[in-house]
Structure 1
């Protein structure tokens, strides 16, 4: 259901699409046997501040978007944690726990608010509130600059990171954080793909950030091979299975550090910054 007369909000269209996609995917996963996902939009005017979930929504006019499902619901003791990075109500292997964290960050960055209501066994509703934009609409932020031609060395203003992660949501989450910090990020989904990228002698890389356990070549394996042609590149290994993946008996990878999952954005950025120093 949609209000036929919605007003403008100031936000990036692509980012809002990502928020809705994340919420819809979350709703789908909450209904393994199938069901309906309801998306409603509307206008809400607040005459007094709305105090909720440790947030204060100022008085004013807001465009609201609600995404609802009739799924399994979220226990009360977990509701306050659903927006934390890498928190997930699913079993291990069923999801990364990044979708809601990403949605929260985008909504807050847009000056909006996001709330969740849920009852176990009955379903969940996420409510987004964006202040109505009274100014003249302007073009959204410019798209990410394309990578330079493979015939031109890449810029090194803040350092170049080769990010290798087989789970696309995790890779997108980390890539966005690093780009916002000012780094140039090159992405690869496998160790093999990373090795192919490194065959270009004009591709300058300062740091490898790689998952440890991946299909095909694991992190330590591809990094050791890459070091044969890029001996000075430093490394950040990321995994939730450090003791199994980086065995003490294996040849240690020099100039490398380990970042255990789950980690916060601050943890990731601090680790990368220290390795870049």
Structure 2
């Protein structure tokens, strides 16, 4: 992994959404590790994810629910900050993750500004303010 750049794990099963999010994040200087499933994300985290500081996780993955993946990623990387992305009701997700520090929510569809704002909320020191 490229440790000279800020590391982020992008977990998204829809190729177009992943491509757009990856481009937004790379334009901001991130080294982006893309996973199309929960299993891929866990593999990346186990294989050297200690440099990954933030994960952007789609809640509706085909192999695992977002809340389960968040818990599994936190077991591997306890200090990991996470932004959960979903096209479903944000209120339900806020209630689900309310008691977990360092977990933020972003509603889909999101644009670059919305995504970067969610990342800043999850980890204020990770992404400089403009």
SS of the equivalent of 2:55 reads: strand
Offset from partner CA, 1:111-148 (integer Å, 9 cap, x none):
xxxxxxxxxxxxxxxxxxxxxxxxxxxxxxxxxxxxx4
SS of the equivalent of 1:228 reads: helix
Structure 1 stretches lacking a partner, 5+ long: 1-147, 149-153
Distance 2:94 2:28 in 1: 32
Question: Shift in Å at residue 168 of structure 1?
Answer: 0.5
Equivalent residue in structure 2 for 1:237, among 68, 81, 84 = 84
TM-score of the superposition, structure 2-length normalised? 0.83
Distance 2:97 2:122 in 1: 22
Larger Rg: 1
- Matched with 2:109 is 262
- Map residues 1-277 of structure 1 onto 2, 5 A cutoff: 148=1, 154-157=2-5, 159-201=6-48, 203-243=50-90, 246=93, 248=95, 252-276=99-123, 277=125
Count of residues in Structure 1 that have an aligned counterpart in Structure 2: 124
Change (3 A) 1:204 1:250: closer
CA RMSD, 1 decimal:
2.3
Offset from partner CA, 1:61-86 (integer Å, 9 cap, x none):
xxxxxxxxxxxxxxxxxxxxxxxxxx
Question: Shift in Å at residue 243 of structure 1?
Answer: 4.8
Relative contact order, CA 8 A, sep 6+: which one is greater? 2
- Matched with 2:128 is none
TM-score of the superposition, structure 1-length normalised? 0.41
CA contact (8 A) 1:164 1:210 kept: yes
Offset from partner CA, 1:78-105 (integer Å, 9 cap, x none):
xxxxxxxxxxxxxxxxxxxxxxxxxxxx
Structure 2 stretches lacking a partner, 5+ long: 126-130
